A and B are shown apart, each in its own frame.
Chain A
Amino acid sequence: MSNAAWETLSNQAIGAAGIVYFIALVVHLAEWAAVRQPKEKATASNATATSAGTVGGDTLVVEETAVDEDRNGERVAFLGRLGVLLTAIACAVHFVALVGRGMAADPNRVPWGNMYEFTISGTFVVTLLYLVLYKKFHLGWMAPLVLVFNVSVLMIAVIWLHEPVAPLAESLNSYWLVIHVVSAVIATGAFTLGGIASLMYLVRMRAEKKAAGAPLTGWMGRVPSLVALDRIAYRVHAFAFPVWTFAVLITGPIWAHEAWSRYWNWDPKEVWAFITWVVYAGYLHARATAGWKGRNAAILALIGMATLWFNFIGINYFSTSSQHAYAGERQVQVVHVKAPGVDVPRAGLAAGAPG
């Protein structure tokens, strides 16, 4: 296959993945609607609430369900399974798009040369992690959120960020780039997933307050309890944080040292990666501090996610001095140094780095 053919394949695959994600979203919304059907008595008790103490036999919950509710339940379950299946298919197509991007470049490379590529990689990781953790954490309730996120971000990527395949700027041509960006993308995906759980925590908290003790109905009834949401959010963040530490504070500086001669330069991109790191460290502290647990911790997690995505997209429009300008925006970085007495412009080679 020629490079152009790979590029076309990649573009089409992204489109196809977006469409299948969208269909999956519709299916999950239908699943929601089915749950909402008035006949169904709210089974507000969620999985975790019943799991404790069943072994002793003294707290076994016996659920009685009427026949028609049963049938409705079947339909809900079927729609749920279908949605996950579609998501998995879309995820596979998404992967093809990533491979296509890499194969289209000459020489072949990892598909992380610019924001478009980083974005489609990041959404891929979000989906993949969601699918991997689906069983373990019972993430069925999360499906619509993940899919809405994916569909909208992919749309942004295709409409605004798309760039034709191009060779990497010289400074990006390092195996440290691969390690650095792989870990940054994984951490970004995981933080996003954790952020969704934290967001749900706040939403459910409000819903519970409104319900004033009454069991929650409809979709909200299927969202895990606050304790379980908090735990899911924590576990995903706890996975993402060391990965982010590795990406931002180990591989990033090593690579910066090789490419730009300074391992830490307080470049805006670095500053925001550091801010993100500190905010998430704050989140982990908050979870261990009385008075900050729960709600405040969840808010911190969302602030962390905001800094993360701001760093990824926003900072490029805010600051002009970042050496991490994405390849193509500036091929030559004009470095200005102070010579005795005057400011003289000097040219540098290295156009930027994502990450």
Chain B
Amino acid sequence: MSTPPPTQTDADAAEATQEKKARERKPQRRAGELNARELGRWAWRQVTSMRTALVLLLLLALAAIPGSVIPQSGVDALGVTRWKEEHPKLTPIYEKLDLFSVYDSPWFSAIYLLLVVSLVGCIVPRLFVYFRAMRAQPPAAPKNLTRLPEHTTYRTDASVEDVLANARAVLGRRHRLRRTEGDGVDSVAAERGYLREAGNLLFHLSILVVLAGFAIGGLFGYQGGVIITQGTSFTNNLTQYDDFNPGGLFRTDQLDDFCFTVDDYQDTWLTEGPRAGMAIEFSADLTYEEVCGSGEEKNYDLRVNHPLGIGSTDVFLIGHGYSPIITITDGNGDVAWTGPQPFLPEDSSFLSFGVVKAPAAKPGQVGLEGVFYPSFDMVDGNPVTVFGDDLNPTLSMLAYTGDLGLDDGVSQSVYVLDKDNADLVEKDGKPFRVDLQPGDTVELPDGLGTVKFEGVEPWVRVQISQTPGKEVALIGVVLALIGLCASLFIRPRRVWVRARPAAADGASGTTPGDTDPEDGVTMGGTVVEVAVLDRSGNADAGEVLDDLVKKLQKGAG
């Protein structure tokens, strides 16, 4: 009977026996002579060894660090651009090393794929070992229980049969007992905690499930963002998105067929306290149809932390800002452009930047570029916005005319003015400023027309995404957690109780019938040996033994 020492785990034991078997199988040959099969087997053993898993885990942790220090294009695209501008020398090196997208880089993937291989190679054999162990009987008591590190011996007046029967009763409640064949068995062998290994296997398998869920989301999902001004609508097709980030296997026909209108947007600005100037309680009232054109309108109050689910798509409120409503009337008196145009906040003061383009204006195209102050004020001679709420909305823009680059068919961002072939509009040799408050109209020089600031509407930025596999990932982590708890808190152990008539003990040279000076039990009687083997290496087996002996003694006296 070979029992591992108590601090050694099953994993080590398994590894050790594996190695032993491999050694036994190896024919007599000089060291260094490995054929391809053996090399393969050797490599496989290395990859699936506990030590490799450990090193790979630490490597994974190490490899994750750069991505938290260097801006990542998937998280912070502008940060990447800025970083590249500041470090022109390092940029090419960093790009070669994929340091701007660490988590999709080949070297990062290599580490976790190796870990997955190692994991599979580790789990599969252990599954078989486990199934065999499940069906096996607890091993019989070793010949000499007193050799085990946690053991004790005591005497009792009860008969051997009573002691063993009692031990079976006491242990039977929470242990699996070894079946005894016939007479002459002087011991009880018991084992418990089989679920620990099951938990461990479940945990490691669940990691694969989580990875699968994660991969499904990355490949088949998408995220898109769009800014929608209050009072306007969105229909879910690709052309309507401001930005769209699909997974590798995304197909357009995955898009759900919904549409919605932002009826009303509300927020509350804090005017006092340490967070004065911060907005809270964002809320956008939507009217939506799950199938656009079906006429079945529903309402939803879209708020932060309360996404709207439509089919397999989720809609999130993630931003807000202002759309000044501007009308450009051209030199001919025709309206060349009118409507709300979203301006993009530069920082938390909600000072916002935007452009307006009127390519159809006659006699010349008109483009405006400038900033919007929600609460305009002059502080020390500088124009600033003193608050994020639109208490004193003010526009300050410059006008351009000429070719705005809209006619050559290249798609253009609505947030950027192409000034390559356009001229700044000037008056008296100075740039002409278009400074407006709601209701104001200003006449552009050179008969270009007029610009009117009609008012302000809020806009909301919504993120729209499909994340297939998120349930898979969630189920995976929950199972992993369950397995982990079983693996960490179940303490597997083996227990043996052996009882013999004291005479057979032979150790004490006293006469039967006398009273033992140490424990007060009549000489003779029965000598009971109890041993506990903790198989997790983490339990205090001494305590367990004490407890057990107390229980045994209570039962059989």
Contacts and interface: CB of A to CB of B under 8 A. Distances in A.
B320 interface: yes
Nearest to B415: A344
Contacts of B75: 265-267, 321
B134 interface: no
A315 interface: yes
B170 interface: no
B514 interface: no
A345 B518 CA distance: 85
Interface string A270-291: 0110110011011011111111
A246 B488 CA distance: 15
Interface string B287-306: 00000000000000000111
Majority secondary structure of chain B interface residues (helix, strand, loop or mixed)? mixed
Contacts of B318: 260-261, 335, 348-350
B275 A234 contact: no
Interface residues of A, number: 93
A335 B346 CA distance: 10
A250 B477 contact: yes
Nearest to A281: B57
Contact of A346 (B279, B281, B282, B344): B344
Contacts of A339: 242-243, 413, 415
A137 B411 CA distance: 69
B350 interface: yes
Contact of B307 (A58, A167, A261, A347): A261
Contact of B465 (A165, A262, A320): A262
B201 to A, nearest CB: 14
Given A250-B477, A278-B60, A288-B9, A336 B79 contact: yes
Nearest to A278: B61
The interface size bin for chain B is 35 or more
B66 to A, nearest CB: 10
A292 to B, nearest CB: 6
Interface in A338-355: 338-351
A293 B537 CA distance: 11
Contacts of B411: 340-341
A331 B275 contact: yes
Contact of B51 (A48, A274, A287, A289): A289
A238 B488 contact: yes
Contacts of B537: 287-288
| Residue among A54, A266, A315 with most chain B CB within 10 A | A266
Contacts of B78: 336, 343, 345
B413 A52 contact: no
Contacts, number: 263
Interface string B458-495: 00010101010010011001101100110011000000
A29 interface: no
A305 B543 CA distance: 30
B68 A315 contact: yes
A41 interface: no
A257 interface: yes
B58 to A, nearest CB: 5
B539 to A, nearest CB: 8
A263 B467 contact: yes
Interface of A: 48, 51-58, 163-167, 169-171, 173-174, 176, 231, 234-235, 238, 241-242, 245-246, 249-250, 253-255, 257-268, 271-272, 274-275, 278-279, 281-282, 284-293, 300, 307, 315, 318-321, 327-328, 330-332, 334-351
The 4 closest A-B pairs by CB, nearest first: A336-B78, A347-B345, A321-B76, A332-B348
Given A55-B152, A166-B274, A332-B345, 18 more contacts: A51-B543, A55-B545, A56-B153, A241-B488, A258-B307, A260-B316, A260-B318, A261-B307, A268-B67, A275-B64, A275-B65, A288-B537, A289-B50, A332-B388, A337-B77, A345-B344, A346-B227, A349-B318
13 contacts: A51-B542, A170-B279, A242-B481, A257-B467, A260-B316, A289-B54, A328-B274, A330-B348, A332-B347, A335-B319, A336-B79, A345-B345, A351-B278
